[in-house]
């Protein structure tokens, strides 16, 4: 019942030590060439090997080393295997920090002031009090809830949307197509933290942007496939959207000549909003392994029907 981890050597060593200390009875390996493929019951990686079913026919659990699972070719997964996405405190805290940074920067109109600085213009722009600023999150999973909790002390009017009804204390919760339309009309800063599925691909499109009030802003920290980048540029150029923080693009890396690099209303970062932290990820994985070995469902288990 081997646990095979395919990842960076530094990350693997953290996991190796954690398994040796906390789960010594579970064989841990990191070199696929040195293990019997028939013995591999658990596989953790980000870049999943081709033909998983043929390579590891006895796989039971496939762990993604990150929160995303859209990189996985579902057709290659053995029918008996379950997919688990990473839920761990280090990744969550990084995303929370990035979202707070972005929202505060947009709230205080940092992109506009950076452009004024480039033009050597000393101008005081109009501002909005925090309790008058409406901040909404697409996606009320672990990352969305953590981000909303971190924004509460600033006094923003907070809202969140999910596909199905969810009750999150201290925020207005919306769900379904009608709920999305209602929330968008009442949003000044929109944060995308959705999983990428067939239903959410290109959800950030011209139609959605048009439903936001004029002068709204965007924080795109979901997945690159969520956004129609040309639609974002058009909405910024017409002034319908005031500014955007963009951390994920399609493709990645973004081509050097892409207009997002130099657009004065865009702050672009190279997919750095969140990363898996090795020590806390190892703790979370060991906790999941204990659940699995006890016959219980792990945290982060992906529903094949929903896709997340």
Residue 277 has a pLDDT of 97
249 or 73: which leads in pLDDT: 249
Structure tokens at 163: 């596909």
The second-level CATH assignment, the architecture, of 2-88+276-293 is 3-Layer(aba) Sandwich (3.40)
Q: Is the pLDDT of residue 231 over 80?
A: yes
* Measured CA distances, 163 to 10, 174, 180, 295 (Å): 38, 8, 9, 29
Residue 188 has a pLDDT of 98
| Nearest partner of 32 among 7, 15, 11, 13, judged by Cα | 7
Residue 177 has a pLDDT of 96
29 — pLDDT class (breaks 50, 70, 90): very high
Q: In 3-state terms, what secondary structure has residue 137?
A: strand
| CATH dotted code for 90-268 | 3.40.50.720
Residue 78 has a pLDDT of 86
Q: Is the pLDDT of residue 72 over 80?
A: no
68 — pLDDT class (breaks 50, 70, 90): confident
Are 200 and 220 in contact, with CB atoms under 8 Å apart?
no
Residue 216 has a pLDDT of 98
Q: Which residues contact 273 (CB under 8 A, 6 or more apart)?
A: 94, 95, 98, 99, 221, 247, 248
Are 86 and 67 in contact, with CB atoms under 8 Å apart?
yes
Stretch 179-206: mean pLDDT: 97
pLDDT tens digits for range 269-302? 999 999 999 999 999 999 999 999 999 999 999 9
Residue 8 has a pLDDT of 93
pLDDT tens digits for range 89-135? 999 999 999 999 999 999 999 999 999 999 999 999 999 999 999 99
pTM of the model: 0.94
Are 229 and 251 in contact, with CB atoms under 8 Å apart?
no
Residue 232 has a pLDDT of 98
| Nearest partner of 140 among 113, 185, 93, 172, judged by Cα | 172
247 — pLDDT class (breaks 50, 70, 90): very high
Residue 43 has a pLDDT of 97
Residue 79 has a pLDDT of 87
Residue 239 has a pLDDT of 98
Q: Whose structure tokens read 């004029």?
A: 214
Residue 304 has a pLDDT of 83
2-88+276-293 with 90-268: one CATH topology?
Answer: yes
The catalytic residue positions are 223, 271
Q: In 3-state terms, what secondary structure has residue 3?
A: strand
State the chain's mean pLDDT as an integer. 96
Domain boundaries, the chain: 2-88+276-293, 90-268
What is the number of other CB atoms lying within 10 angstroms of the CB of residue 194?
Answer: 25
User: What sign has the CA pseudo-torsion 130, 224, 268, 98?
Assistant: positive
User: What proportion of the chain, given as a percentage, has pLDDT over 90?
Assistant: 91
What is the number of other CB atoms lying within 10 angstroms of the CB of residue 31?
Answer: 10
Q: Is the pLDDT of residue 55 over 80?
A: yes
Residue 75 has a pLDDT of 72
User: What sign has the CA pseudo-torsion 8, 11, 37, 53?
Assistant: negative
Residue 50 has a pLDDT of 81
Residue 73 has a pLDDT of 74
Residue 261 has a pLDDT of 98
Q: Is the pLDDT of residue 193 over 80?
A: yes
Are 303 and 297 in contact, with CB atoms under 8 Å apart?
no
DSSP 76-121: GS-TT-EEE----HHHHHHHHHHHHHHHHHHHTTHHHHHHHHHTT-
53 — pLDDT class (breaks 50, 70, 90): confident
Residue 256 has a pLDDT of 97
Q: Give CA–CA dist 178/199, Å, rounded.
A: 15
């Amino acid at each position: 019942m081997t646990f095979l981890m395919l990842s960076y050597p530094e990350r693997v060593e953290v996991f190796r030590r954690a398994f040796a200390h906390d789960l010594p009875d579970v064989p841990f390996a990191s070199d696929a060439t040195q293990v019997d493929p028939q013995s591999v019951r658990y596989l953790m990686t980000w870049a999943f090997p081709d033909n998983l079913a043929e390579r590891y026919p006895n796989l039971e659990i496939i762990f993604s080393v990150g929160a995303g699972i859209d990189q996985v070719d579902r057709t290659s997964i053995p029918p008996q295997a379950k997919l688990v996405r990473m839920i761990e405190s280090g990744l969550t805290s990084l995303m929370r920090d990035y979202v707070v940074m972005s929202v505060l920067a947009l709230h205080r109109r940092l992109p506009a002031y950076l452009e004024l600085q480039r033009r050597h213009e000393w101008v005081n722009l109009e501002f909005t009090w925090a309790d008058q600023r409406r901040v909404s999150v697409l996606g009320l999973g672990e990352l969305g809830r953590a981000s909303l909790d971190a924004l509460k002390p600033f006094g923003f009017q907070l809202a969140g949307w999910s596909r199905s009804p969810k009750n999150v204390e201290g925020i207005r919760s919306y769900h379904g197509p009608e709920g999305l339309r209602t929330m968008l009309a009442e949003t000044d800063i929109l944060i995308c933290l959705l999983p990428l599925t067939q239903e959410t691909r290109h959800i950030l499109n011209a139609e959605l942007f048009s439903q936001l009030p004029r002068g709204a802003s965007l924080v795109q920290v979901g997945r690159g496939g969520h956004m129609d980048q040309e639609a974002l540029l058009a909405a910024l150029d017409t002034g319908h959207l005031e500014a955007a923080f963009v951390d994920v693009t399609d493709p990645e890396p973004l081509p050097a000549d892409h207009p997002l690099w130099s657009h004065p209303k865009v702050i672009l970062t190279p997919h750095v909003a969140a990363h898996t932290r090795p020590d806390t990820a190892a703790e979370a994985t060991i906790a999941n392994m204990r659940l699995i070995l006890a016959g219980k469902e792990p945290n982060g288990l992906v529903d094949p029907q929903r896709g997340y």
